Structure formats: structure tokens, C-alpha cells
Amino acid sequence: MNKFSGIGASGGIAIGNAAIVKEAVVSYEKKVIDNPEQEIKRLEAAFERFKEKTEKMALSIEEKVGEKEAEILRGHIAIAFDPALSDEINKLIKSGKCAEEAVDSVCEQFIAMFASIPDEMMRQRATDISDVKTRLLQILTDNEPTDISGLAPDTILVADDLTPSMTAGIDKENVLGILTKTGGKTSHSAILARALEIPAVLSAPDAVDALTDGVVVIVDGEKGEVIIDPDEQTVEKYKKLREEYIQAKKELSKFIGRKTQTADGESVMLFGNIGNPEEAKTVKSFDGEGVGLFRTEFLFMENSSAPTEEEQFEAYKAAVEALDGGSVIIRTLDVGGDKEIPYLGLEKEENPFLGYRAVRFCLNRDDIYNTQLRALLRASAYGDIKIMIPLVTCVDELLAVKEKLFTLKSELDSEGIPYNKDIEVGVMIETPAACVSADILAKEADFFSIGTNDLTQYTMAVDRGNAKVAYLYSEYNIAVLRSIKRIIECAKKEGIVCGMCGEAAADPNLIPLLISFGLDEFSVSATSILKTRKIISLWSKDDADELANKALSLTRESEISALLKANARK
């Protein structure tokens, strides 16, 4: 029996058999290129393939865990297409080097640069670029990436580093724990392990080097300890510790079946976010009261052509039936920006996040949008479906959607097809324009849902994939908090429900402020539902108001963050 220490990056205790996973070494032949333009075209095709595959992995993470975690992989797309990287690669190709050597050489320069910086965030950037490099080389050389989806039950996954692209393939039913040579608490492997609720110890090189396949290993993600080949007494000790940890989590189960309400009895709604109909069952299993966000782009990503009206109808119907009476808020197609679907023929844009995307795209593609809206209307005959419009910046967009729905309702009437004639149509508030004009939108919308991820990004003018400005991306910034407060106030004034489907809805530090502001509905990942219900139950409106007043009197993000963390109740 040997004991090692590392960084406890994801809580819990796992006991299983080591499975050592190594990223395949990609080899290639260096050769002089006679036709650089043709080689650049080959590289461009590889970049597009990389983007397509990475987006699919991001969607997998988004379905399993959440949107915030998926941004890690979408950040890899931003890295690959960063002119600072791609321009240098093209220069080397023009000088006569093959695409593989150019990618390898340029990426290694950036990796060395970031790895030499003491800051952990910068070192993580080096890991990300290394992952991007490996996958680009795999595409250029027609090599398949390491597949960890078929690991045996009771596995402790052991690797030099668990890259985000590898994590997308984890089957958490089989992988009980994670052990790596590198990585820290803020590394992407740690973030994803926590999101998947898999115990993990990182930066334990001695433990990794001491292991062979099949050896029994204990991973204590709380203390950052690793025990290799433990004796029976030690195994029994850690089994008890594991049960105690699990029991603490089970304490949350007492919130199943309880109303979601504050300490002084004020009720709110607690919903879940989903990406496909199956996840509606998961929301139900965690006692979610409905679905606050159904991201429909997954239906489009899973096909090589646009899903038919019938396919969409069946998916929306299945989701609402799974909730057994609960509301399902379905976001219409949010494509563009960081979500590209090849068959839709979207042209490349210099700044896609501010370009032709979401409702802007849909309103100009009747073939796509009318099909989706008809499917949504038809499915509304089977339960409480609500339609949510993303990226709205002016009331004209909402009115244009409502006009389309009016026409489609007339068509369904003439065809004798049933639907909910009073179906609600709401707005996802995620732009500064929507925030400023929230009082106007509230007169036309049936409900609001605040998308804090994009609202924060657009309010702060911050590219989430740019590490140099990532420090500005925070919901605790006073500008973001004031925006959230205003949106809720405008909804209240017009008597419409205001929910939140962004990551902030599950943040224990922010929940008291959302209670104070008067948020009606919290929509979170399924695994966060019970914890969110517990946190809400710990705050009275008076206590929440007191904390909110203090927070809003401060001016610096660091001060607000410190105040909220110091007063968090868990």
C-alpha cells in the first residue's frame, strides 16, 4: 500500500481499478510543399472539420452538464481561429512547410510561452492549445482521437492530463474517479470533473507513475489523497467515508417534494435546463417543477439536414409529456455565434456573436423557422409549452415572431389541427438593448427569462474565450447586477413572470440577491435543482433585501464578490 498527495479538485471518494489512458502520439512526415495554396486549402478544411467536431463535443458537455462547462470547448474553437495562431501557421506553409509541421511548430511556440507564465490561468491556456494542436494533427493525419467512452465499470481514469476533448467522452456510470499528473483546482479538467460529480485528484505525478492497469486505487477528492493497492482495512475505512459523503448529499433528498420557497414562505418556481427530450425526465427525477430552457439547436446539430416538422413535433411533445403537467419553455433555434450548423449555409463573419444569428437568422429563413413554430404549436396541444425568442434587441423582432405565429395558427385552424390558442410567447433577455428597453418589451411579451451568460458578456463587452479579458466576465459586476434588477422590475410592473436560465440562477452567492430583486423562476441544471431549493429555503426576504442593499451600495466587483461569498449560506 502506497499513499500519495495531489490536489483535491472534485469532492467525493472513489474506489476502483486503474485504467491508464494515454493520448495517442501523432506522427507525420516533414516534407517541402510545392503548392502552398493547395496546402492552405487542406489546412482550412482541417480547421472546419475541427470546428464541427469540437462543437459536437461542446454540445455533448452542454447536454451532460451545462452551458458554462461547454464554453471550455467552444473556447478551443476561438483559439484555433485566432489570427495570432492561424496567420503564423499560414506563413510557415507559404514558406514551404507542410500543414502538419506548421501547426506543430506554431502551437509549440504558444504552448511554451503560456507554460512559462506563473499564473495558473495562463498555464491552462497552454494546456488548451496543446489539446487543439493534437486534434488538428489527428485530423490532418487521419488519426482517430483517444476514445474513453468504452471504459469498464468501476474504473479510476488515470492520465497525464484529462483534456476537455477527452472529458466529452466520459461515461460517468463507469468512471468512478479521475487521477492526473497535471492540473489544478481551476484547470478545465477540474471544472469538468466537478460538473460531472466525479471525485478527482490532480497534479499527482508520483501516483500516476506508480500505477499499472487494473491496480486497485482510492481517490479522495476532498483531501487530495491517493492510495494505491490498499489493504482490506483501508478499503473498508474509505468505504465508510464514501458513505458519509454520499449521505451528506442525500440530505438534499429531503427537499424532494417540498415547495420551493424562502425561509419566510414566499414561493418561487424551480425549473431545469435541458438539451433534448430525454433530459426532461432527468429534470423530473430531480423534482424540477418544469423546464425553463429547452435548447432546440441540439435537434439540428444531430442531423445532416434540418429536422422535419414531424421530428421536431415528436421531440417537443415528448419533453412536455415527460414533465407530467409542468411547463416547458422552448427556445427557438439559436444558431450562429458559437453554434454553427454546416447545412444551414451560414457565411463566415468577422464577429459572429454580433452578427447574423438566433432570431435574426430565423426571421429571414421561413423554411427553417415556420417549420419549427408549427411543430411547437402542434406540441402545445399536449401540455404547457411556452415559446422563447433568443437574442432579442428590439420590440420589432418580438412582434415579427408573433405575426408569424398568428399566420401559422390560421393555417392550423384551417387544417383542423389542435394547439394551445393562448400559447405564451416570451423573450430571452440577454442583450443590453433588451435590458434598456425591457419596459417596452414587457408590454408585448408574456414572460421574460434572463440569460445571464450572454447578458454578462454583452454588458461587459467581454469575449469569454479571451483569457486576457476574462477577469471582467463576472455576474457580480455592478453593471450586471443593476441590469438584472431592472429587468425584473420591468416585468413586475407589467405583471409578467420573470425567470432566469443562465448559470447565475444556481449560484449560492447570487441567490439572495435574486430573491430580493423578486425573481419568479430559477432554471438550473438538473443536478443543481435540490441544492438551489435548499439555498432558497435558507433566506428570508428581509435578510435577502439587507444583503442586496449592501451589495448595490458597493462599486467594485471584488468588493461585491467578497461580500456575497462571506454571507453565502450552504
Question: What one-character-per-residue DSSP string does 477-525 give?
Answer: SHHHHHHHHHHHHHHHHHT-EEEE-SGGGG-TTTHHHHHHHT--EEEE-
Please enumerate in sequence order all residues whose Cβ is within 8 A of that of 463, keeping only pairs 6 or more positions apart, or say none. 78, 353, 457, 469
Looking at residue 186, its pLDDT comes to 61
Q: Which residue has the cell 454553427?
A: 340
Q: Could you confirm whether 501 is annotated as catalytic?
A: yes
110-to-88, 113, 184, 300, 381 alpha-carbon distances in Å: 11, 5, 20, 35, 55
Indicate if 362 belongs to the active site. no
The pLDDT assigned to 338 comes to 58
* Rounded (5°) CA angle 73-463-129: 40
Please give the C-alpha separations between residue 6 and each of 123, 225, 341, in angstroms, as whole numbers.
18, 6, 41
The pLDDT assigned to 565 comes to 94
Cα–Cα distance list, 460 to 20, 145, 300, 452, 510 (Å): 42, 37, 30, 12, 18
Rounded to the nearest angstrom, the gap between the alpha carbon of residue 319 and the centroid of all alpha carbons in its chain is 20
**Integer Cα distance of 231 and 216 in angstroms:** 10
Environment class of residue 363 by beta-carbon count within 10 Å: exposed (0-12), middle (13-18) or buried (19+)? middle
Options 188, 362, 490, 498, the catalytic residue = 188
**Could you say which residues of the chain have pLDDT below 50?**
none
Cell of 385: 409549452
**Cβ atoms 104, 137 nearer than 8 A:** yes
pTM: 0.67
* Amino acid, single-letter form, for residue 419: Y
pLDDT at 50: 94
DSSP 338-381: TB--GGG-PPP-SSGGGSS-HHHHHTT-HHHHHHHHHHHHHHGG
**Per-residue model confidence (pLDDT) at position 350:** 78
Cα 256 from chain centroid?
25
Alpha-carbon span 273 to 452, nearest angstrom: 14
**Residues 487-507: tens digit of each pLDDT:** 999 999 999 999 999 879 999
CA separation for the pair 527, 272 (Å, rounded): 9
Strand order in the sheet with 13-20: 2-5, 225-228, 216-220, 13-20, 155-159, 175-180, 200-202, 7-10
Task: Mark residue 336 as left, alpha or beta (left: phi above 0; alpha: psi -120 to 50; beta: remaining).
Answer: left
Residues with Cβ within 8 Å of 461's Cβ and at least 6 positions away in sequence, in order, are: none
Residue 116: predicted pLDDT: 64
Question: Among candidates 63, 55, 73, 68, which has minimal Cα distance to 336?
Answer: 55
**Which are the contacts of 112, defined by CB distance < 8 A and separation ≥ 6?**
126
Return the H-helix or E-strand segment holding 452: helix 452-460
Rounded distance, CA 373 to CA 370, Å? 5
